[in-house]
Chains A and B, each alone.
Chain A
Amino acid sequence: MPAVSKGDGMRGLAVFISDIRNCKSKEAEIKRINKELANIRSKFKGDKALDGYSKKKYVCKLLFIFLLGHDIDFGHMEAVNLLSSNRYTEKQIGYLFISVLVNSNSELIRLINNGIKNDLASRNPTFMNLALHCIANVGSREMAEAFTADIPKILVAGDTMDSVKQSAALCLLRLNRTSPDLVPMGEWTSRVVHLLNDQHLGVVTAATSLITTLAQKNPEEFKMSVSLAVSRLSRIVTSASTDLQDYTYYFVPAPWLSVKLLRLLQCYPPPEEGAVRGRLTECLETILNKAQEPPKSKKVQHSNAKNAVLFEAISLIIHHDSEPNLLVRACNQLGQFLQHRETNLRYLALESMCTLASSEFSHEAVKTHIETVINALKTERDVSVRQRAVDLLYAMCDRSNAQQIVAEMLNYLETADYSIREEIVLKVAILAEKYAVDYTWYVDTILNLIRIAGDYVSEEVWYRVIQIVINRDDVQGYSAKTVFEALQAPACHENLVKVGGYILGEFGNLIAGDPRSSPLIQFNLLHSKFHLCSVPTRALLLSTYIKFVNLFPEIKATIQDVLRSDSQLRNADVELQQRAVEYLRLSCIASTDILATVLEEMPPFPERESSILTKLKKKKGPGKVPDMEETKKERNSDMNGSTEPVSVNSSAVTMSTPSTSTDLLGLGLAPVLNSVAPASAGGSLLVDVFSDNSPAVASLAPTAEENFSSPRIGSADVVSDDPAAAVHDADELVNKFVCKNNGVLFENQLMQIGLKSEFRQNLGRMYIFYGNKTSTQFLSFSTAVICQDALKTHILLHLFCITKQVDPAVDGGAQVQQILNIECVSDFMEAPILNIQFRYGGALQNMSVKLPVTLNKFFQPTEMTSQDFFQRWKQLSIPQQEVQKIFKAKHPMDTEVTKAKIIGFGVALLDMVDPNPSNFTGAGVIHTKNIQVGCLLRLEPNTQAQMYRLTLRTSRETVSQRLCELLSEQF
């Protein structure tokens, strides 16, 4: 080999490089580069035609400048010229520039393709190689389009030189990676497979890579490669180290090819044909045997190459997962490596064992190494090795060793690197939950987690422990006791305060019998942490306090004092202030029955996959977390019945999805809403309850926050030109809802809108459900409520979106829920309009529906005696106060139906008032913010004429009018 004098080709380049290296500062370097760029630019633009050499030199300089990290935006044309040159060195530099600097979608590609085409057709192997290298380096789609037809031909042609075949094979591999759709399969495939038999090991090496890539996508088409690969492999592993000449690397025969062949075989299940299978098993045994032989060289290259083949063989054994004997041998081999002095080998052994742990045949064998792995966790100096040890412990964990492994992980967590703490926390949380026989152990473990690494305990983890405690009543008392004790530490992590606050709020009563944890002591303990906590935690604690009011009436006064203090009631944070105000009010006004209902214990959470597991999967990427459910199923069949079967998993596992986590927080949404309906009595109670929910959840749960982004529609927010114009069947829909509060408001082919509403005094809340009836996603989904001008002053609407799926995309078949809060300021006529917009299949859909918010919704029924009724009736004797209407019945005149309708209208149906028993009388009060309007009504049916006479008397003319209009449409 002639020692090449450095830079002999281009002295100018060497001088330039030296100049750059001699630059003392970044500025000087940039100055020198700019000077050079200006020079090159002028040379390229100059009149004098540059000869090939100069062009080559300047292009090389540009390349160098680019590699220093500067942008190059010219010179491409010159490079293309160079690659079309007949001189090899010019061509080579031209191709190099293009390979490094041209990105796949450059406009130059056509010109470059032309040059490549010529070189491929040149029959000059050196030129052909340059062209193929360029295709493989750039690999753009245009290139694939131009050459995918030719390259297979070059690859399998009988007269192609070996080196060109090698380039062609890998070139095709690259194109198949970037544009698999363009690489045609065909007759050439079987000839490519037969390259595995080629004399030239370099060709076989390149071809094996290509076949592996192709076989991953078309396993059937390349099936016959299995037997050829096995026989090739067999010839290699049985050869003497000198047989393969230069393909032997530090006494290891063709290690690269061996690894590739073993990799190719991992695209397929174990060979079906007995002979092939036997031969492969022999190969694998030979490789395992060789690992036990004394090394032929002390060089690390020898052991690396040898072990590279060994690890790949083990991968194949694990992939086949069918030969218990081989699996156990592999495990033992890896066990040896666990204590090897080479860090690299220990690392790989831990990694490889992780996959072995999931095989039913080797799981038990892997478990025998537990002490070594734990030791690695304690002694390895390299964090990436410790990380592998954690992974392996996680993978080998089962019911038999869970307590030990969790304890060791917790131990390690105390000193673990920050970079892997969160992951360890997740793993511990999952294992503790999964293998908990005794849930007190689980609770202890999680509390320990919070103690040791509170900052790394994500929300998912502490939500989870609460879910589990709530769902398992056998552990509630213990949990309350444990958190109570843990909270006594002078400094405890905020996450502990959250868990503690929540659990005591639910189950503090279970330990209140003990004088050491009496209600007052519990409360004082929690409250001593209050001032050190962040706003969300304080909000949660306030919820705990109001729960205490229910659990422990004896400390109600103390709690009220706390709520009443200026630091709460006038807290700068609006969320805390609101909670304090509302909870205080709730505690003062509500009867114990109502309190008990509103503040009752949380219902169990639905059982779903653990959100922690989801999080870990997300963190590690799919496939990196061994699916323990799956593997354990297989494993259990092997574990002689001493361990419990899979069902333990399901009992031990799992409920929440991220969306339910919002429910978990505080006394926010779920429990209060559930109890609204039964707690119908409570005067202004509802005011509190209503205004409490939504914002409370928002501030507590960051995930929910964005859900509130849809605009609060205040009166002036939305102006519509003429909303009523587009309104669907306007009044008919509204009339349907005059006497009822729930039902389907609107339906077409695309969507259904359902309603549930409740009204108390002058306040109302409407739940609107939007159901996507199609299988296609709605995009840009938005809604708005529009009040016409006249209405604005009379009714206030607040539209909230709550929790689930309120992002602008609504999946096919999914339902989105919104809450509309309504306040009636004074009496009104028109109904507000709900405007819905979304994109469906590209088209913008726009629909408007009248919301059935009618004046009668704000009725409070009034019971009165016959005497009272007639006395008041007489009082309302001014002609304008009475409205009367005689109309024809639209429906069959059924007494019971009529009664129901009147009650549904909102008034009290007064029996025995009217002397004529077939008449109906009713009384009620319309509540608005400004005034209250009493209302008496009388309905006289005439069955013979199929007519009704409706008479209404109220203190306000407009109210009488409107109510009469509404009610007369109902019969």
Chain B
Amino acid sequence: MMQFMLLFSRQGKLRLQKWYVPLSDKEKKKITRELVQTVLARKPKMCSFLEWRDLKIVYKRYASLYFCCAIEDQDNELITLEIIHRYVELLDKYFGSVCELDIIFNFEKAYFILDEFLLGGEAQETSKKNVLKAIEQADLLQEEMETPRSVLEEIGLT
């Protein structure tokens, strides 16, 4: 089972974190700091897996973003690598050629997509079509229900 997934930039800024095991905020921060450092220190041609504590870390870099997953001893590294890739594909399809900014400004969407794809640290739905269909439906619900707002209100000046 995946224990957590972290997305961070080349500058070490955390862009998304998803934890599938209960940990204190302090512990989460410590793990994040340690792993970001470890992964950023690795050279491009190195292998995508490393042992870390009693976990296996699987990471891959896409453009400016690192996707980093921690899995347990008996889990499959290669399939985890493809979990990352499938998630990138989903983001890409949804945002249309995704970039780091999309994830910064629409972090909630990134979470929603991840929840449709992975749940409790396991793949819930591996079909790209099905995941996107679920998100699409939610967006439709959103559009139906949303009432237009005045520009002033949107900027937060009301």
Residues of A near any B CB (own CB < 8 A):
1-4, 6-7, 9-12, 14-17, 21, 53, 57, 60, 63-64, 67, 69, 71, 87-89, 92-93, 96, 99-100, 103-104, 126, 129, 132-133, 136-137, 139-140, 163, 166-167, 170-171, 173-174, 177-178, 201-202, 205-206, 209, 213, 245-247, 249, 254-257, 259-260, 263, 266, 301, 304-305, 307-309, 311-312, 315, 343-344, 346-348, 381-382, 384-385, 387, 621
Contact = CB atoms under 8 A, between A and B. Distances in A.
A128 to B, nearest CB: 12
Contact of B123 (A177, A246, A256): A256
B30 interface: no
Contacts of B101: 6
Contacts of A247: 126-127
Question: 9 closest A-B pairs (Cβ-Cβ)?
Answer: A11-B154, A308-B78, A174-B120, A308-B79, A12-B156, A246-B127, A209-B122, A343-B47, A170-B119
Given A69-B14, A167-B124, A205-B125, A6 B105 contact: yes
Contact of B22 (A7, A104, A202, A312): A104
Given A7-B105, A173-B120, A347-B47, A1 B136 contact: yes
Contacts of A307: 78
Given A167-B124, A202-B130, A344 B47 contact: yes
Contacts of B54: 621
Given A17-B104, A89-B145, A308-B78, A348 B49 contact: yes
Given A6-B105, A348-B78, A1 B132 contact: yes
B10 interface: no
A4 B105 contact: no
A346 B47 contact: yes
Nearest to B54: A621
Nearest to B112: A92
A171 B14 contact: no
Contacts of B105: 6-7, 14, 17
Contacts of B126: 201-202, 205, 247, 249, 254, 256-257
Contact of A259 (B79, B134, B138): B79
Interface residues of B, number: 70
Contacts, number: 212
A586 B94 CA distance: 86
Contacts of A347: 47, 49
A58 to B, nearest CB: 10
Given A307-B78, A315-B74, 13 more contacts: A11-B155, A87-B145, A100-B111, A170-B119, A202-B126, A209-B123, A246-B129, A301-B82, A301-B85, A308-B82, A311-B78, A343-B45, A344-B77
Interface in B52-107: 54, 74, 76-79, 81-83, 85-86, 93-96, 101-102, 104-107
B47 A384 contact: yes
Contacts of A174: 20, 119-121
A136 B128 contact: no
Contact of A305 (B50, B82, B122): B82
Contacts of B46: 343, 381-382, 384
Contacts of B25: 71, 103
Contact of A206 (B22, B45, B108, B122): B122
Interface SS of chain B: helix
B87 to A, nearest CB: 12
Given A53-B149, A305-B78, A308-B78, A170 B124 contact: yes
B2 to A, nearest CB: 11
A600 to B, nearest CB: 47
B37 to A, nearest CB: 14
Nearest to A36: B156
B101 to A, nearest CB: 8
A384 B59 CA distance: 14
B122 A170 contact: yes
Contacts of B123: 205-206, 209, 256, 260
Contacts of A308: 76-79, 81-82
B51 interface: yes
11 contacts: A14-B105, A57-B156, A104-B22, A139-B120, A166-B119, A174-B120, A202-B126, A206-B123, A309-B79, A347-B47, A384-B46
Contact of B48 (A7, A167, A202, A344): A344
B26 to A, nearest CB: 11
B45 to A, nearest CB: 7
Contacts of B49: 344, 347-348, 384
Interface string B136-154: 1111011001100101001
Nearest to A56: B108
B106 A6 contact: yes
A7 B82 CA distance: 28
Contacts of A64: 107
A177 B108 CA distance: 26
Contact of A9 (B22, B48, B142): B142
B153 to A, nearest CB: 8
Contacts of B119: 132-133, 136, 166-167, 170-171, 174, 206
A167 to B, nearest CB: 6
A189 B59 CA distance: 36
B45 A249 contact: no
B149 to A, nearest CB: 7
B127 A201 contact: yes
B81 A344 contact: yes
A554 to B, nearest CB: 57
Contact of B94 (A4, A69, A170, A387): A4
A16 B141 CA distance: 25
Nearest to B121: A174
A209 B102 CA distance: 31
Given A133-B119, A136-B119, A246-B129, A205 B50 contact: no
Interface string B16-32: 11001010110001000
A790 B122 CA distance: 75
B56 to A, nearest CB: 10
Contacts of B120: 136, 139, 170-171, 173-174, 177, 209
A178 B74 CA distance: 19
Contacts of B47: 343-344, 346-347, 382, 384-385
A163 B107 contact: no
Contacts of A173: 120, 122
Nearest to B89: A301
Contacts of B109: 4
A6 B110 CA distance: 12
A12 B146 contact: no
A213 B122 CA distance: 11
Contact of A15 (B16, B96, B156): B156
Given A6-B106, A305-B79, A343-B47, A1 B94 contact: yes
B14 A12 contact: no
Contacts of A4: 94-95, 106, 109, 139
A170 B78 CA distance: 22
A109 B110 CA distance: 25
A600 B138 CA distance: 85
A129 B116 CA distance: 9
A255 B101 CA distance: 31
A88 B145 contact: yes
A139 B22 contact: yes
A629 B130 CA distance: 51
A89 B146 contact: yes
A153 to B, nearest CB: 19
A126 B111 CA distance: 16
Contacts of B155: 11-12, 15
Nearest to A319: B74
Contacts of A255: 79, 82
Q: Which of A1, A260, A621 has most B Cβ within 10 Å?
A: A1
A610 B92 CA distance: 55
A177 B22 CA distance: 11
Given A4-B139, A9-B142, A384-B49, A63 B108 contact: yes
Nearest to A53: B149
A307 B79 CA distance: 9
